[in-house]
A and B are shown apart, each in its own frame.
Chain A
Amino acid sequence: MDCTRVRDLLADYSVRILDGRTHQLVEGHLQLCADCKEELRVMDSVMLLVEEHGTLAPPPGLFNAVRNQIEAGQVTRQRPAWWAIFLTTPARVAAMGMAMGAVALGLLMPTTPTSLPTTLDPHLPIAGQVASGELSSSIRQHAMAATEGPLADRVAWEAMAQIAAQQPDENVDKKPGKERRVE
Chain B
Amino acid sequence: MERSAPWVAFGVCVLAAGGVWLYRAGHPSGVSGGDAREIVQEAWTRGRRVALSGEQLTSVGGAKEPLKTHVLYSRSGSMRIEYQTEPLKGVTIWENGGRTYRYNPRMKRLTVAQRRSTPEDQARQERQLLENYTPKIVGTALIADRKATVIELRSKNHADRLKRVWIDPQTSVVLGSEDLEGHTLLRSTKFTRVEFLPSGKEPAESEFQPSDDLVAKYGTARPGDTSTRFEPEQLSKLVGFTVREPKSVPKGYVLQGAYQLPCLCGKRHQAARLEYSDGLNTLSLFECGHPECTAAVTRPKKARSPLAFSLIKDHFYFLAVGDAPREDMEKIVRSAAE
A positions within 8 Å CB-CB of B:
86-87, 92-93, 95-96, 98-100, 102-107, 109, 111-113, 116-118, 120, 122, 124-135, 137-139, 141-142, 144-146, 148-166, 169-183
Contact = CB atoms under 8 A, between A and B. Distances in A.
B312 interface: yes
Contacts of A146: 281-282, 323
Given A169-B266, A181-B312, A150 B21 contact: no
Contact of A162 (B104, B126, B178): B104
B242 interface: no
Contacts of A156: 58-60, 177, 179, 187-189
A151 B224 CA distance: 24
A111 B225 contact: no
A127 B61 contact: yes
B238 interface: no
A124 B153 contact: no
Among A99, A117, A145: residue with most chain B CB under 10 A: A145
Contacts of A165: 104, 107
B301 A153 contact: no
Contacts of A152: 280
Contacts of A127: 61, 181, 184-186, 306
A103 B102 CA distance: 57
Interface string B294-338: 110111111111111111111100010111000000000000000
Given A113-B139, A120-B59, A130-B305, A151 B6 contact: no
B307 A139 contact: yes
Contact of A145 (B150, B275, B302, B313): B275
B61 A126 contact: yes
Interface residues of B, number: 118
Given A95-B9, A127-B185, A128-B186, 5 more contacts: A111-B25, A134-B264, A153-B58, A159-B63, A166-B106
Interface stretch (B114-122, B200-208, B213-221, B246-254): B114-122
A141 B186 contact: no
Contacts of B7: 86, 92, 95
B208 to A, nearest CB: 14
Among A95, A104, A122, A164: residue with most chain B CB under 10 A: A95
B188 A103 contact: no
Top-4 shortest CB links A-B: A106-B17, A133-B300, A130-B62, A131-B305
Contact of A173 (B59, B69, B113, B299): B299
B19 A151 contact: no
A68 to B, nearest CB: 35
B273 interface: yes
A160 B282 CA distance: 14
B126 A150 contact: yes
Nearest to A154: B81
Contacts of A172: 298-301
Given A111-B139, A128-B186, A106 B20 contact: yes
B148 to A, nearest CB: 10
A181 B91 CA distance: 35
Contacts of B178: 117
Contacts of A142: 282, 284, 307, 321-322
A176 B60 CA distance: 35
B199 interface: no
Contact of B261 (A87, A109, A116, A141): A141
Given A116-B138, A133-B300, A182 B310 contact: yes
A162 B69 CA distance: 14
Contact of A128 (B67, B277, B307): B307
A179 B3 contact: no
Nearest to A158: B93
B136 to A, nearest CB: 11
30 contacts: A92-B5, A95-B6, A99-B6, A103-B20, A111-B139, A112-B28, A116-B138, A116-B164, A118-B141, A124-B185, A125-B185, A126-B60, A127-B186, A128-B187, A133-B301, A134-B298, A135-B305, A141-B224, A145-B282, A149-B125, A154-B79, A156-B60, A157-B187, A161-B102, A163-B62, A170-B301, A170-B302, A172-B301, A179-B313, A180-B311
Contacts of A129: 61-62, 305-307
Among B81, B284, B294: residue with most chain A CB under 10 A: B284
